[in-house]
Structure 1
Amino acid sequence: MEFGTIEREIHIEASPEIVFEVVSSPGHLKEWWPDDARFEEIPGAAGELVFGDPGAGGAVVSFTVLDVRPPRTFSFRWTHPAGETAAEGNSLLVTFDLTPSGAGTLLKMTESGFREMGWEAAVLEQQYRDHVAGWDFHLSRLAPYIATLRVRP
């Protein structure tokens, strides 16, 4: 098995503008992915994602916005050490590419940079598998969450 890049594609019954807002804004992210998200939606902005309760074994993960091109692309680097600038070799790159598809949107999520992290083989495999499981779980929550936005008054 290759532990280099994770790619997922899902079709969402919503416009690219709506999907873009949901994958790029902290307020929406925390409804389907982390427990909390703190960052500005501008290239170069640094922030953090919070998973669980940091005081009880949860994690605070560094997050840096790279590209913001509504309603087509949102990308960021994450998992870099706090206080360091996110770059290839110390962080993973996540890109959401959105394409109109019928009455909805085709979302392609790509996460790369695992091999460039310099992890030993066992750590690389475990991190990759953890991220595959995480994306499979969290991305499955995206379309149902977006569906709730359309039914609100």
Structure 2
Amino acid sequence: MQRFTIIISLLIATHLGLVHAAGDAERGKQRATVCFGCHGPDGQSLNPEYPNLAGQMELYLIKQITAFRSGERKNPLMTPMAAQLSDQDVLDVAAYFSAQKAIQTGATKKTLAETETRYEGAPSGIDADFVTLPGVDPAIALTK
């Protein structure tokens, strides 16, 4: 019984830590103003060279921004931008963009239909390693 209590206590402590580490979308909007030039103020990029961030999975955004910040992913524009963000900034920016509504384009709808057919209805964006497809240019998604 004592072992069970310890395990439950650890699980609760872990959960509380995750809740505490949650991002604040309002602060994220303020911190993300530097992102708006490429990704748009609502996360909808007007330039197909830059991915849409609106509606993207929060964990995926955290993972990618952190990878740019650490140098695991390299990009002449993103690496220095991400380097300026604190851990809390990353959480806040990810919370902001993930809370925005993704707009599906005709190409995205076609890609989603093909993906659902290919993977028998598997949901897009399963965890931090998977990009959510609505609003993401397939060419960009495939390069990651």
TM-score (norm 2): 0.26
Higher relative contact order (CA 8 A, sep 6+): 2
Structure number having the greater helix percentage? 2
Larger radius of gyration between Structure 1 and Structure 2: 2
